[in-house]
A and B are shown apart, each in its own frame.
Chain A
Amino acid sequence: MDYKAQLKLQALLDGELPDGEASAATKWVARDREAASLLEELRSTRGALAGFEADVRLPESREFFWSKVEREIQRLETPAPKPARVSYFTLVRRFLVPASAVAVVLIAGLMLIPPAGSTGRTVAAEIETALADSGVFTYRDYSAGATLVWLSYPAEDEAAEIDEMGTFD
């Protein structure tokens, strides 16, 4: 029996053959023992599977399973928190703080450069940046006896504002 004939037998069992072909196949099975035994095997396999799923039960209690489904539904339905909006004033200040710090460093640097035609006397001055805190600059001019400390921390009211708004992205 060729493969096509075998598939035809299966289609007969599954009711997938058109009426004309089905009656021809039925006649063929009646006179062909090989075809009849293959059809019988297919039929008994089908019979063995019948009702197989009926005994399969979800291995979790109704309450537990539902609690998982419900939690997941609620999780997916909770809108994601919107990113905090940053005010224009805060943005400007966030730009101004480092910009001002850079400006101070530049000014201090210019003060250290001896003017043209000067005697070449070494100016006793230094700029310190604390390693632990890059937001602090200290400028000391020993000759003038002056010390300038620049703190680039946000002001207290700005810090409070940031806390209220959450994290910036």
Chain B
Amino acid sequence: MTVEDHSSVDDQTLVRASQRGDMAAFEELVARHRDRIYARAYSMMRNEEEAVDLSQEAWVKGWQRLAQFHGESSFGTWMTRIIINLCLDQLRKHKRQRAESIEAMDEESGGVERQMPVVTVNPTAGLERGELRQRIDQALGQLSYEHRTSLVLHEFEEMEYREIAKTMGCSIGTVMSRLFYARRKLAALLADLKNRDSV
């Protein structure tokens, strides 16, 4: 198969060629899915450099584990699980290296999200796409990794509670609490950003 051929074939064929050692086929897979893999890493890590490094590591691992891929899911989904696990490992390392975040302490000390006033006006209404993205980016950065990851896995990876619990190694109840807190906190942060901008 020539390099030109690769761009016109489906993922399955490229995966089979890669499993036989065809690196050009694997390069095409990387080119197709690299943005998705990076986006997931960036959403979880909130750091461009780290997200690039982890994406690279994920692709190397993907190549090494190709023999284990039997097509139970799409190749993109399989690769996404690799990057999620790498990011979780990295985030756990970070957590061990620093004190608990204020958000985590909030959650453990009684759940401030229960008392937060409901945001009645949509804080993102009327925003342009770029501006909205920037605000969400800023707000996501203020969540602890547990809350942010729960949100990312649910909203972007479309995982069910059960899958998130399995991936993060916690109970379904914890996932529900984290997700609820993350959403309420995000709504409050977005409203706060809107209020600050309007002052």
Interface contact A49-B35, CB-CB below 8 Å? no
Knowing A10-B176, A16-B161, the reply to whether A53 touches B118 (Cβ < 8 A) is: no
User: Which residue in chain B gives the minimum CB-CB distance to A66?
Assistant: B27
Q: Which residues of B contact A54 (CB under 8 A)?
A: 39
9 contacts between A and B (CB under 8 A): A14-B161, A14-B179, A41-B120, A45-B184, A45-B190, A52-B136, A69-B30, A69-B56, A76-B60
In the bound complex, what is the Cα–Cα distance between A48 and B48 (angstroms)? 22
Set of chain A residues within 8 Å of B184, measured between Cβ atoms: 41-42, 45
Pick the 5 closest A-B CB pairs, nearest first.
Answer: A56-B39, A58-B38, A53-B39, A48-B124, A44-B122
In the complex, B133 has a CB within 8 A of chain A? yes
Determine the chain A residues whose CB is within 8 A of the CB of B118 once the complex forms: 34, 37-38, 41
Q: Tell me if B40 and A53 are in contact (CB < 8 A).
A: yes
- Tell me how many residues of A have a C-beta within 8 Å of chain B: 38
Q: Which residues of B are at the interface with A, using a C-beta cutoff of 8 A? A: 23, 27, 30-31, 34-40, 42-43, 48, 52, 55-56, 59-60, 63-64, 111, 114, 118-120, 122-124, 129, 132-133, 136-137, 151, 154-156, 160-161, 176-177, 179-180, 183-184, 186-187, 190
Q: Which residues from B are CB-within-8-Å of A42?
A: 183-184, 187
Question: Shortest distance in angstroms between A158's beta carbon and chain B's nearest beta carbon?
Answer: 42
The 8 Å CB contact of A73, one of B63, B154, B180, is B63
**For window 4-19 of chain A, which residues contact chain B by CB distance below 8 Å?**
6-7, 10-11, 14, 16
A70 within 8 A of B: yes
Contact, CB under 8 Å: B179 / A10 = yes
- Complex Cα distance A26/B39, Å? 35
Residues of the B chain whose Cβ atoms lie less than 8 Å from the Cβ of A68: 56
Q: Is the CB of A46 within 8 A of B124?
A: no
Residues of A within 8 A of B42 (CB): 56
Q: Give the most central of A37, A55, A56, A65: most B CB within 10 Å.
A: A56
Tell whether A60 pairs with B52 under 8 Å between CB atoms, given A45-B186, A53-B43: yes
Q: Pick from A40, A52, A62, A69: contact of B156, CB below 8 A.
A: A52
A10, B184: Cα distance in complex, Å: 11
- A49-B133 CB under 8 A given contacts A10-B176, A69-B59, A72-B60: no
A66-B177 contact, Cβ under 8 Å, with A41-B120, A44-B122, A55-B133: no
Contact A56 B38 (CB under 8 A): yes
Q: Does A3 contact B (CB under 8 A)?
A: yes
Contact A45–B160 (Cβ < 8 Å): no
Interface residues in chain A, defined as those with a beta carbon under 8 Å from any beta carbon in chain B: 3, 6-7, 10-11, 14, 16, 34, 37-38, 40-42, 44-50, 52-60, 62, 65-66, 68-70, 72-73, 76
Complex Cα gap A7–B179 (Å): 9
What is the CB-to-nearest-CB distance from A76 to chain B, in angstroms, rounded to a whole number?
7
Q: How far is the CA of A34 from the CA of B43 in the complex (A)?
A: 32
Nearest-neighbour CB distance to chain A for B37, whole angstroms, equals 8
- Kindly identify which residue among A14, A56, A72, A76 contacts B154, using a CB–CB cutoff of 8 Å: A14
Option from B35, B133, B136, B154 in Cβ contact (under 8 Å) with A58: B35
| B residues less than 8 Å from A37 (CB atoms) | 118, 120
Partner of A49, one of B38, B39, B48, B155: B155
Q: Which residues of A contact B23 (CB under 8 A)?
A: 70, 73
Instruction: Decide: B56 and A56 in contact? CB cutoff 8 A.
Output: no
Complex CA gap A49/B30 in Å reads 26
